[in-house]
Amino acid sequence: MPMSPPWNQADSSCSLEGRLLFAVPKKGRLQQATLDLLAGSDIQFRRETRLDIALVKNHPIALVFLPAADIPTFVGEGRVDLGITGRDQVAEHEAFVPATKDTGVEEVLNLGFGKCRLQVQVPEKGKLERPEDLVGKNVVTSFVGLTEKYFARLEGLDGIENGVTNGDAPVRNRLKTKIKFVGGSVEAACALGVADGIVDLVESGETMQAAGLKAIDTVVESTATLIKSKHPSNQKLVDMIASRISGVITAQKFILCQYNIARSGLETATKITPGKRAPTITALEDPEWVAISSMVLKESIASVMDELTACGATDILVLSIANSRTG
Ligand SMILES: Nc1ncnc2c1ncn2[C@@H]1O[C@H](COP(=O)(O)OP(=O)(O)OP(=O)(O)O)[C@@H](O)[C@H]1O
Ligand SMILES: O=P(O)(O)OC[C@H]1O[C@H](OP(=O)(O)OP(=O)(O)O)[C@H](O)[C@@H]1O
């Protein structure tokens, strides 16, 4: 006899009742970084094979695994309290379903990863040079809402700020540009004669280059984001999750730099390592010297160490931060 999923069983510890619902990408580019954030935030769960809901063991939370593109719909309608997806997906959702007082999503935290741009692209070797050259032509995209909005503005159609409709005539029906949806491999559309131009995501630019395309405008810049519904079931738990995730992100971005410096070099050194709020300065046995401990952005640590050495710092140590809670 097939087992029913845990949240349908009589045991109340397995029920969804009273649990905060938290949507996470079930696959794709944002999934691994999201799972790493959950692990760093000590949100413990075990996902049964093929089940898209997992109960969190140590908090009244249930994770719901959904496609990144669907998360703004579930959160926006308040069916799910929290979610992680791309800002591009939030903007695409809002192009179709404008937020109201009670519906739509609110950004809690910019998560920093999943950086990409939604760009208008045309064949590198061709006559099309400007976005205006695509008006009246075929454009292929997975982001139909944002692309319609973009071309509506370009074509001078009004009413787009309130979604893609204007009175009873949808802006879509009045667009000269023909916008076609494809679910993936958008970059192939020009070479296959389906499109004159595309609107697609670009990160490194490798896909665009390999397909012989060039970007001529940016529709939206995106990173992953933590979003919440307008009336989450447990705001305190939302705040706790946001604070934990923020701590993990800070820990990933910064490292701790410790060194000794003569008091004469202190002013210069603290300018090099000002810390997040201020560096911690500790007196040493030798009254002429102090020890400094300061958070430094990982990406700039090499040049910071060069500068510290040049101003007389010694015993420079760089330590990784496992987790953090900063103001
Ligand atoms: N090349 C990329 N670099 C960085 N982030 C990306 C990239 N492509 C997509 N993303 C981000 O990841 C989100 C999800 O895209 P992804 O293609 O992984 O989704 P998916 O759920 O697997 O969908 P699909 O099945 O349509 O490919 C995008 O909305 C965007 O925010
Ligand atoms: O600038 P790049 O680093 O090359 O990344 C951009 C590519 O990544 C995404 O596609 P993905 O690989 O997710 O596959 P898809 O085409 O099936 O959506 C996007 O749609 C681009 O094709």
Residues 36 and 106 in one domain: yes
**Percentage of residues in the chain with pLDDT exceeding 90?**
85
Residues 94 and 58 in one domain: yes
Residues 193 and 259 in one domain: no
Out of 169, 201, 222, pick the residue that ends a domain.
Answer: 222
Give the tokens for residue 160. 């787009």
Please state the rounded mean pLDDT for residues 202-223: 98
> Which residue's CA is minimally distant from atom 3 of ligand 1?
203
- Residue 245 maps to a domain: no
Residues 47 and 134 in one domain: no
Please state the rounded mean pLDDT for residues 277-303: 95
Indicate which CATH number applies to the domain containing 300.
3.30.70.120
Contact between 78 and 20 under an 8 Å Cβ cutoff? The reply is no
- Residue 314 maps to a domain: yes
Closest CA to 55 of 13, 3, 118: 13
Mutate to test the pocket of ligand 2, among 207, 208, 219 (most ligand atoms within 8 A of CB): 207
Tally of domains in the chain: 3
- Taking the centre of ligand 2 as the mean of its atom positions, its distance from the CA of residue 182, in whole angstroms, is 13
- Comparing 10 with 50, which gets the higher pLDDT? 50
Predicted local distance difference test score (pLDDT) of residue 323: 87
Q: Which domain does 138 fall in, by range?
A: 116-222
Quick: pLDDT tens for 209-218: 999 999 999 9
Instruction: Report how far residue 303's alpha carbon sits from residue 291's, in angstroms, rounded to the nearest whole number.
Output: 20
Band the pLDDT of 102: cuts 50, 70, 90. very high
Supply φ then ψ for residue 133, to 5 degrees. -65, -20
Indicate which CATH number applies to the domain containing 14.
3.40.190.10
Residues 293 and 305 in one domain: yes
End-to-end CA, the chain: 53
Residues 97 and 229 in one domain: yes
> Tokens 């400094």 correspond to what residue?
292
Give the tokens for residue 203. 């990160």
Q: Is the pLDDT of residue 166 over 60?
A: no
CB of residue 286 inside a 6 A radius of ligand 1: no
CB of residue 121 inside a 6 A radius of ligand 1: no
Residues 105 and 131 in one domain: no
Please state the rounded mean pLDDT for residues 252-272: 95
Q: Is 54 exposed, middle or buried (0-12, 13-18, 19+ CB in 10 A)?
A: buried
- Taking the centre of ligand 1 as the mean of its atom positions, its distance from the CA of residue 299, in whole angstroms, is 25
Quick: pLDDT tens for 243-253: 999 999 999 99
Question: Which string of DSSP letters, residue by residue, matches 208-225?
Answer: HHHTTEEEEEEEEEE-EE
Q: Is the pLDDT of residue 183 over 80?
A: yes
Give the tokens for residue 268. 């210069």
CB of residue 205 inside a 6 A radius of ligand 2: yes
pTM metric for this prediction = 0.88
Residues 77 and 54 in one domain: yes
Instruction: Report how far residue 279's alpha carbon sits from residue 294's, in angstroms, rounded to the nearest whole number.
Output: 5
Band the pLDDT of 41: cuts 50, 70, 90. very high
CA 216 from centre of chain: 24
Residues in CB range of 1: below 8 A, 6 or more apart: none
- Residue 242 maps to a domain: no
Residues 85 and 29 in one domain: yes
Closest CA to 60 of 21, 23, 25, 24: 21
Predicted local distance difference test score (pLDDT) of residue 210: 98
Residues 107 and 228 in one domain: yes
Which helix (H) or strand (E) element contains residue 125? none
CB of residue 66 inside a 6 A radius of ligand 1: no
- Residue 74 maps to a domain: yes
Give the tokens for residue 99. 């937020």
Out of 180, 203, 233, pick the residue that ends a domain.
Answer: 233
Q: Is the pLDDT of residue 280 over 60?
A: yes
Mutate to test the pocket of ligand 2, among 117, 202, 206, 214 (most ligand atoms within 8 A of CB): 202
Sheet holding 82-86, edge to edge: 53-55, 61-66, 20-25, 82-86, 224-229, 105-110
Band the pLDDT of 173: cuts 50, 70, 90. confident
* DSSP character at residue 191: T
How, if at all, do strands 165-166 and 169-170 pair?
A: antiparallel
Lowest mean per-residue pLDDT among 68-82, 163-177, 207-221, 234-248: 163-177
- Residue 244 maps to a domain: no
Out of 171, 198, 222, pick the residue that ends a domain.
Answer: 222
**Which amino acid would we find at residue 36?**
D
Predicted local distance difference test score (pLDDT) of residue 49: 84
Looking at this predicted complex, what is its ipTM? 0.96
Residues 17 and 34 in one domain: yes
Residues 104 and 20 in one domain: yes
Instruction: Report how far residue 33's alpha carbon sits from residue 324's, in angstroms, rounded to the nearest whole number.
Output: 18
**Percentage of residues in the chain with pLDDT exceeding 70?**
91
Distances (CA, A) of 88 to 3, 114, 139, 159, 208: 38, 10, 18, 21, 18
- Residue 271 maps to a domain: yes
> Helices 87-96 & 144-154, crossing angle to 10 degrees?
70
Distances (CA, A) of 120 to 93, 136, 272, 309: 19, 15, 41, 46
